[in-house]
Amino acid sequence: MGHCDVFEVSPVCPLPAARQEAPDFCALIKANARYRHIIGNTPAIIYSSVPSGDFRLTFVSENASRVLGYEPSEMLDDPNFWFNHIHPDDTAQIFSSLAMLFVEDQRIYEYRFRTSDGSYLWMHDTLRLIRDPDGTPQEVIGLMTDITGRKEMEDTLQRQAEEQRKLIEQLKMAQAQLMQSEKLASIGQLAAGVAHEINNPIGFVSANLNTLGNYVATLLEGIQLHQCLQGGALPAAMAQEQLRSFEQRADLVFLSEDVTELLAESNEGLQRVRNIVQSLKDFSRIGESNWQMTDLHRGLDSTLNIANNELKYKVSIVKQYGDLPLIKCLASELNQVFMNLLVNAAQAISERGTVTICTAREGDKVSVSISDTGHGIAPENLNRIFEPFFTTKPVGSGTGLGLSLSYGIVKKHGGDIRVSSAPGCGTTFTIELPIDPASVLAQSSAMETTGEAS
């Protein structure tokens, strides 16, 4: 072997001719140069330090000057170089736990380290304690990697996650507000109908009361006459004449029949008012905003009562109620879903038609389907109807929020909502709800965290 052409080493081995015969020595130089080359060019800074007190650096790989801007000799000369260049905010966590190096023999820290231009780089520092055969600490050998890029990425991700969290929060609030305004809008829309439903019986009950008042006046007149006659205040013939003329005027036979009828009719009218007030209470489930065991049929019936004015002139309602258990739900929200489906169904029917409500239990789920004989949904609209603000109704008559909110409410219950429709053949919406949503919701959130859902 005539020469050693290794990196950064003279191409000719600088040893005397006699020594050139010693192949080991040359190989040693070659290896040494190779190691220096490798160490000096690793992406990480390799260093060693004393295993105590100030952890004075005893070796620093040459790439320190490239990464940090310091010459290794500069770093070795200052006994406190390492400690003095760590960011003040990061020193506490290192100092408080560095003693553990002597228990665990290895520690990893991430901290900011000051470079020669005064800026800070994030370093990932792995410190390994080297012991002699007796177990006495000899030195620390470490590896510092510049992870500033990763940290910046983490920061960006964290900022983005925070922004997303805020956005989700805002969306939730917006949705809650939308729900509230949709609820108000539907109550507003229905208020006129409900007012009419209440006004009608109140109208005839008050007319009946008027007539009954006249009848009472007549009867009081009769009683007075009767008292006069009994007291003998008038001669018998005259008394008889007055009584006859009163009976003719009063038409007592008709009066007694009519009184009974008017009372029955008024009672029925008041019952209708009572029902609608009860339905309003049931519909909104005043004072109940929590998950409760609920009878869906009661919810459907109260919703039908409230929507009656929208329905009664053109829709015959067919109820095919199955045997349903109580289900755990947010009743007032589900009533809103029923309301929207029923009003949509009624609005899809132009002259006269039928709306059929079927309920059934299927294992641990229940289903409610609402079918109409209306104009149906065009195929190109079928997959758009659940979009917020999608509406085919004239401006000012539909906000296009009904189905999107219904979808959200059904999903919140761990359920499903499906539609089948064809133009001219009517539409069926089917809602499936778990009897106990907790099990379904827990399962789906577990699936989301393990990524199964995707």
Ligand X SMILES: Nc1ncnc2c1ncn2[C@@H]1O[C@H](COP(=O)(O)OP(=O)(O)OP(=O)(O)O)[C@@H](O)[C@H]1O
Query: Which residues of the shown chain bind Mg ion in the complex (CB under 5 A)?
Result: 340, 344, 402
Q: Which is nearer to Mg ion, 45 or 346 (CB)?
A: 346
Partner whose footprint covers residue 391, from Mg ion, ligand X, none (CB < 5 to 8 Å by kind): ligand X
| Total chain residues near ligand X (CB under 6 A) | 21
Q: Nearer Cβ to ligand X, position 148 or 347?
A: 347
| C-alpha–C-alpha distance, residues 321 and 284, integer Å | 22
Q: Does 403 bind ligand X (CB under 6 A)?
A: yes
Q: Does 391 bind ligand X (CB under 6 A)?
A: yes
Q: Are 49 and 144 in contact (CB under 8 A)?
A: no
Quote the strand ranges of 295-346, DSSP E. Answer: 315-320, 327-329
Smallest gap from Cβ 429 to Mg ion, in A, equals: 11
Question: From the CB of 359, what's the least distance to ligand X, in Å?
Answer: 18
Backbone angles phi, psi at 244, to 5 degrees: -65, -45
Check residue 344 for interaction with ligand X (CB under 6 A).
yes
Which residue's C-beta sits nearest to ligand X? 402
Minimum CB–partner distance for residue 177 and ligand X (Å): 15
- What DSSP letter does each residue of 9-53 carry, written as one string? S-SS--S-HHHHT-HHHHHHHHHHHHHHHHHHHSSSEEEEE-SST
For residues 422 and 378, the answer to whether their CB atoms sit within 8 Å is no
Rg (CA), the chain: 45
User: Contact between 377 and ligand X (CB under 6 A)?
Assistant: yes
Task: Look up residue 366 and give its amino acid.
Answer: V
Which of 344/373 has CB closer to Mg ion? 344
Minimum distance from residue 124 beta carbon to ligand X (Å): 53
Interaction between residue 390 and ligand X (CB under 6 A): yes
End-to-end CA distance of the chain: 64
Q: Is 177 an interacting residue with respect to ligand X (CB under 6 A)?
A: no
Which of the listed partners (Mg ion, ligand X, none) does 218 bind, with a CB threshold of 5 to 8 Å by partner kind? none
User: Reduced to 3 states, what is the DSSP secondary structure of residue 7?
Assistant: coil
Structure tokens at 47: 């260093």
By CB under 6 A, residue 9 contacts ligand X: no
Identify what 399 binds: ligand X, Mg ion, none; CB under 5 to 8 Å per kind.
ligand X
**What residues contact 242, with CB distance under 8 A and at least 6 apart?**
225, 229, 234
Instruction: Select from 340, 359, 367, 369 the one that contacts ligand X (CB under 6 A).
Output: 340
Q: How far apart are CA 339 and CA 334, in angstroms?
A: 9
Q: With respect to Mg ion, which residue has the nearer C-beta, 308 or 406?
A: 406
User: Does 420 contact ligand X by CB under 6 A?
Assistant: no
Of 125 and 182, which CB lies nearer to ligand X in the complex structure? 182
| Residue 345 lies near ligand X (rule: CB under 6 A) | yes
Closest to Mg ion by CB, 344 or 421: 344
Residue 401 partner contact from Mg ion, ligand X, none using kind-dependent CB cut-offs of 5 to 8 Å: ligand X
In the complex with ligand X, the residue whose CB is nearer, 352 or 393, is: 393
348 binds ligand X per the rule CB under 6 A:
yes
Looking at 327, 401, 410, 435, which residue binds ligand X (CB under 6 A)? Answer: 401
Scored b (16 or more CB within 10 A) or e, 395-426 reads eeebbbbbbbbbbbbbeebbbebeeebeeeeb
Asked if 385 is part of the footprint of ligand X (rule: CB under 6 A), the reply reads: yes
Among ligand X, Mg ion, none, what does residue 242 contact (CB within 5–8 Å per kind)? none
CA–CA–CA angle 271, 303, 433 (5° rounding) = 140
Closer residue to Mg ion, CB minimum distance, 35 or 389: 389
CB of 391 to Mg ion, least distance (A): 8
C-alpha span between 437 and 413 (Å, rounded): 6
Residue 342 binds ligand X (CB under 6 A): no
Cα–Cα dist 429/386, whole Å: 12
Helix, strand, coil % (nearest 5) of the chain?
Answer: 55, 20, 25
Rule CB under 6 A: say whether 300 interacts with ligand X. Answer: no
Q: Which stretch binds ligand X (CB under 6 A): 25-33, 160-168, 220-228, 371-379?
A: 371-379
Q: How many C-beta neighbours within 10 Å does residue 431 have?
A: 23
User: Applying CB under 6 A, which of residues 20, 218, 242, 399 lies at the interface with ligand X?
Assistant: 399
Closest to 341 measured CA to CA, from 431, 435, 434, 279: 431
CA distances from 138 to 50, 94, 229, 441 (A): 7, 20, 134, 58
Least separation, in Å, of the C-beta of 441 and Mg ion?
26
- List contacts with ligand X (CB under 6 A): 340, 344-345, 348, 372, 374, 376-377, 385, 390-393, 398-404, 427
